[in-house]
Structure 1
Amino acid sequence: MHPTLKPALRRGWRDMSTMQFGVAPAHALVLGPMDTATGSFLTLLDGTRGLPLLGEEARRMGLPDGHVDKLLTELSRAGLLDDATGGGPAAEALRKRSGVMDRLRSDLASLSLLSSEPGEAVERLAARRAMRVRVQGAGRVGAVVASVLAGAGVGRVEVLDGGHVEPWDVAPGGLPAEAIGERRDTTARRLVRQSAPDRPPRANRPASPGSQAAPLAAWQASAAEGQAGLSLVIIAPRDGLDAYAPDPLHAEGLLSAGTPHLYAGVVEGTGVVGPLVLPGATACAGCLFRQRADRDPTWGRMLAQWRSGRARPVPACDLALSTSVAGLVAGHALAFLDGTSMAASGVRWEASVPGFDWHARPVWPHPACPCGAGADAKKDVKGDRLTAAGERHATMAG
């Protein structure tokens, strides 16, 4: 082990015996009491020294025997310690690709804030290379999502869409202006290749999202085999109505294969992210439809009219809003793949121009939906709110 303090956190003395790690409250910690000699010793925790050498340095500084071991234990318990050589064989292979590591160093620093064990962050980062994600839709949202996931180290990012690039598809970080008139899928795949820090690894047995640390580990292990090894499908249609009110029929294959999928899009100046569907465990598109139809008996009739009406040639897809949606859905997708969060499961996030005020709307498993997620709630329904499985998934959604 080569201990290193997590570089993402700035540190400073609050007083003569108390040190603060981190600036923002979400990840800041205060440790004390701490003497100045120990504070000086912390500068040696930079990943270049193993434990024996650190012990020798401590003795030269006059620190008592056992002090270093106790200090490292406390730092590790506080989640402030990393291991410059940890993470296993995949992490070691990634570290040897110095150019790739340099591209991903900021992502690694961010992951370290969510990882309590030394070496865990680089293990998660290396695990991304073995994952396969499909983005369905290459408009202003989908193309940006695909480029972000590829740039963040996801090994295989596929993009599916039809037609040709229109001027209103162009977005910074997404499809470029010079691609207008080209096939959308071809252009999006080129964008993914350009965004990735490395060539995708050879196809292997797919890794489950989040490796060993992921929640619902048993479910994910089997789901990883669904759809020929897809870890996640992101449904980001150019027509935002298909994200706001997705057709359950279009997701039947994903549900039957046990493939996790996440909805995102923009419809008439409103951005939506979610729900993240864990087949058989959280609410799906069918649950979403039934929940809305319970509240509004005309919902099915209105949807039929909207879907069968003349397609709008140009969508109301504000560039700033679509970029915000793409960033949020990519963040939720990576958190799920890394096993650090499922905040989009059982919930849909919405924001509209001009306020961009994101708020969460719960999506409960519906007892009448054949997806099975609402099976535990069939005997306990109050209005349109499920008080059994629904509340459990609300807790999972944070």
Structure 2
Amino acid sequence: MAPAVKPALRRGWRDLNTVQFGMAPAHALTLGPVDTATGSFLDLLNGTRGLPLLREEGRRMDLPDGHVDQLVERLARAGLLDDARGGGPAADELRSRKEVMARLRPDLASLSLLTTEPGEAIARLAARRSLRVQVRGAGRVGTVLASLLAGAGIGEVDVRDVGRVEAGDVAPGGLPAESVGERREEAARRAVRRAAPDRPPRRGRADRLSAGEPGFSLVILAPRDDVAVHAPAPSTAEPLIASGTPHLYAGVVEATGVVGPLVLPGETSCAGCLHEARTDRDPAWPRLVAQWRSGGSRPGRACDVTLATTVAGLAAAHALSFLDGQLPTTAGARWEVSLPGLTWHARPVWAHPACPCGTAEKGKGERPSKDEESHETMAGQRSPGKLCREADVARPAGTWRAHV
């Protein structure tokens, strides 16, 4: 192990005996009491020394026997410590790719704030390289979203769509102006390859199938059709439900951005549940959807570039959270934001007993009340938070006290 205090957290002294790591309340933590010698020793925890050398340095600084090991252990339990050599063989292989690591350094720093075990952050980053994600839709939302996932280190991002690029598909970070008139799918895949820090070898579908590659870890449905965004057809996702493939919805409809739900087949509500619940609340809903779908495409969809990019960014963040092993808030909910207010709302999507996905039957007895069904959670609303967590090296590891 080569211990390193996480460099993503800025350090400052609150007083002569207390060190604060981090500025943002979500990840800040204070450590105390810390004497002057221990404070100086923290500078040596930079990933360039193993424990034997650190113990020698501690003796030169007249630190008590065992103090270095105790400090390292408690910093690790507090989530403040990383391991510059940890993460396993996949992490070692990633470290060997200097140019790739230079591109992904900010992503690694961000992951270090979301993990607690030393070496866990680079292990997650390395694991992304083995993942396969498909984005269905190569418009202003889908192409930017796919490029973001590739730029974050996802090993393979496959984009699917039909038709040719139109001028209205062009967006910064997505399809460039020179791609107008080209096949949309091919142009989007080129954008994805440009965004990736490490370009995998190009292979056709037949090559992938013959290699026996696994299915997609996640499929993202980002249709250019605004009706498909507002009222996703349950039939579109039936093969994904049947195969147990997680999938996430994202798009823009009439100056309203939508991210979610994230569907974990058999575990969380799906597009069918959404359709059934809407029909319960509004008997005219199926009639309206049928008219919208038969109305044909509209030449001027309200999908301005800033809202589309915002939606793509949030959807990519939720996708990465899931792919990294977390359960984002889009599981069982649709996040929506509309111009000009730009206030995000989380609208629950409950499992419906009439939906053939079977999620409601599995969670029987957890059906919400009518009041709960109409509840909307506004982004930004939160209970009074804590400035930071505080750990004390003189206390048993794992003991926390709040500092307000």
Give the TM-score of the pair, scaled to structure 1: 0.89
* Aligned mates of 1:338, 1:100 — CA distance in 2: 19
* Aligned mates of 1:22, 1:141 — CA distance in 2: 33
The alignment partner of 2:4 has SS state of: strand
* Aligned mates of 1:379, 1:8 — CA distance in 2: 44
Partner of 2:69: 69
Quote the sequence identity (%).
Answer: 67
Partner of 2:309: 323
Q: 1:386 to 1:360 in 2, by over 3 A?
A: closer
* Aligned mates of 2:300, 2:146 — CA distance in 1: 22
* Aligned mates of 2:327, 2:107 — CA distance in 1: 16
User: CA deviation digits over 1:47-82, x for unaligned, max 9?
Assistant: 000000000011111111110011011101110000
User: CA deviation digits over 1:304-362, x for unaligned, max 9?
Assistant: 00000131012100111111100000000000000133221001000001111111000
User: CA deviation digits over 1:18-41, x for unaligned, max 9?
Assistant: 000000100000110001111110
Partner of 1:101: 101
Tell me whether 1:363 sits opposite 2:352 in the alignment.
no
Query: Unaligned 5+ residue runs, structure 1?
Result: 204-225, 388-398
After superposing on structure 2, the runs of 4+ consecutive aligned residues of structure 1 that deviate more than 3 Å are 376-387
Query: Unaligned 5+ residue runs, structure 2?
Result: 204-211, 374-404
The alignment partner of 1:275 has SS state of: strand
For the Cα contact (< 8 Å) 2:84–2:119, is it kept in 1?
Answer: yes
* Aligned mates of 1:386, 1:251 — CA distance in 2: 27
User: How do 1:108-147 and structure 2 match up within 5 A?
Assistant: 108-147=108-147
Partner of 1:48: 48
Tell me whether 1:192 sits opposite 2:178 in the alignment.
no
* Aligned mates of 2:304, 2:213 — CA distance in 1: 33
Q: 1:322 to 1:280 in 2, by over 3 A?
A: same
Partner of 1:247: 233
The alignment partner of 1:317 has SS state of: coil
User: How do 1:1-398 and structure 2 match up within 5 A?
Assistant: 1-200=1-200, 228-377=214-363, 381=367
* Aligned mates of 2:120, 2:279 — CA distance in 1: 44
* Aligned mates of 2:357, 2:193 — CA distance in 1: 36
* Aligned mates of 2:260, 2:305 — CA distance in 1: 19
Two-structure CA RMSD over aligned residues (Å) = 1.8
For the Cα contact (< 8 Å) 2:134–2:220, is it kept in 1?
Answer: yes
* Aligned mates of 1:376, 1:385 — CA distance in 2: 22
* Letter of the structure 2 residue corresponding to residue 27 of structure 1: H
The alignment partner of 1:281 has SS state of: coil
* Aligned mates of 1:106, 1:151 — CA distance in 2: 11
Structure possessing the higher relative contact order (Cα contacts under 8 Å, 6 or more residues apart): 2
* Aligned mates of 1:304, 1:378 — CA distance in 2: 31
* Aligned mates of 2:363, 2:240 — CA distance in 1: 23
Displacement after TM superposition at 1:200 (Å): 2.3
* Aligned mates of 1:81, 1:99 — CA distance in 2: 25
Give the TM-score of the pair, scaled to structure 2: 0.88
Q: 1:301 to 1:189 in 2, by over 3 A?
A: same
For the Cα contact (< 8 Å) 2:266–2:362, is it kept in 1?
Answer: no
Displacement after TM superposition at 1:383 (Å): 6.0
Q: 1:201 to 1:167 in 2, by over 3 A?
A: closer
Q: 1:36 to 1:186 in 2, by over 3 A?
A: same
* Letter of the structure 2 residue corresponding to residue 159 of structure 1: V
* Letter of the structure 2 residue corresponding to residue 143 of structure 1: T
* Aligned mates of 1:380, 1:66 — CA distance in 2: 51
For the Cα contact (< 8 Å) 1:9–1:22, is it kept in 2?
Answer: yes
Q: 1:201 to 1:365 in 2, by over 3 A?
A: farther
> How many correspondences in the alignment?
365
User: CA deviation digits over 1:198-227, x for unaligned, max 9?
Assistant: 122799xxxxxxxxxxxxxxxxxxxxxx99
Q: 1:244 to 1:138 in 2, by over 3 A?
A: same
* Letter of the structure 2 residue corresponding to residue 152 of structure 1: A
The alignment partner of 1:356 has SS state of: coil
